[in-house]
Amino acid sequence: MASLLVQSGTNLVDEYADHRQGGSAGKVLAPYKVIALGLLTPRAVWHGALVCFGVATLIGVYLVLRTGWPLALVCLASVGVAYAYSAGPLPLGHLALGEPLVFVFMGPVMVGGSFYVQIHTLHQDALWLSLPVACLVTAILVANNLRDAEEDRRSGKQTLVTLWGRRPAACLYGGLLLVAFASPVALVAGGHGRPAWLLPLLTLPLAWRVARLAWQGGERPLLHRALRQTAKLHLWFGLLLAAGGPAPCLPGRAKGG
């Protein structure tokens, strides 16, 4: 829940910052955003972001008290990066740092942190299993930046797409999908995972279709479809991976049983 609230707060801050920048420095106000549609006011979006971060912080304090101070460092870093991603004088997401930050904080940090809260220690299997999660959530951002490449160039926003170009970024997208699917296969083949961890391979047809969209797509509607399908792939891959069950050899039981 804390991770979900931090992610929601990040999106709300991004929404608010996008609206404030609209019409300036070549920034085009996205017509599909809730403020532009009149569904929420800028004030409501900003207050919503503060509520999300505030409640996430309270949950973080509770979890730190239940586990230990190392988790406090993770919580502070997560909230700080989430806010600085879109806000402040130099938003990190505008400095071509979006993809690596999403990979780290929504992969190893989020998965490893969730594991640590329950088991009170870290284990290499949890970190290895965070790799496909990190790859697919980063692929969502790459698809988003492929769609918004021209708008980002006009506004001066730097992403890996604007720096590298569309074709190299599409290759990055394909590489992220490849690593995501290869990870559970490598774990099972190496004897570190259950055969049920191969369940995500059922989403390979969807991955193939969305990879073709990202590679061939030049028009915004097609890339928007690729973005939505990548999010769908991330959801189903994650659900099937979780359904595969825990690692064969978990460390000792958490404190208090």
Please give the average per-residue pLDDT across 41-50, as a whole number.
93
Task: Please give the average per-residue pLDDT across 236-255, as a whole number.
Answer: 73
Q: Is 148 or 168 the better-scoring residue by pLDDT?
A: 168
Residues 230-250 have a mean pLDDT of: 86
Which tokens in the block code for residue 241?
A: 């991976």
pLDDT of residue 208: 95
164 versus 154: which is more confidently predicted? 164
132 against 38, higher pLDDT = 132
pTM: 0.85
**Model pLDDT, residue 254:** 43
With cut-offs at 50, 70 and 90, classify the pLDDT of residue 119.
confident
Average pLDDT, the chain: 86
Task: Please give the pLDDT value at position 256.
Answer: 44
Enumerate the domain spans of the chain: 1-89, 98-248
| Long-range CB contacts for residues 60-63, cutoff 8 Å, separation at least 24 | 60/2, 63/2, 63/117
In this structure, what is the dihedral angle of CA atoms 128, 129, 132, 134, given to the nearest 10 degrees?
-80
CATH class of 98-248: mainly alpha
- Find out whether 175 and 166 touch, Cβ atoms under 8 Å: no
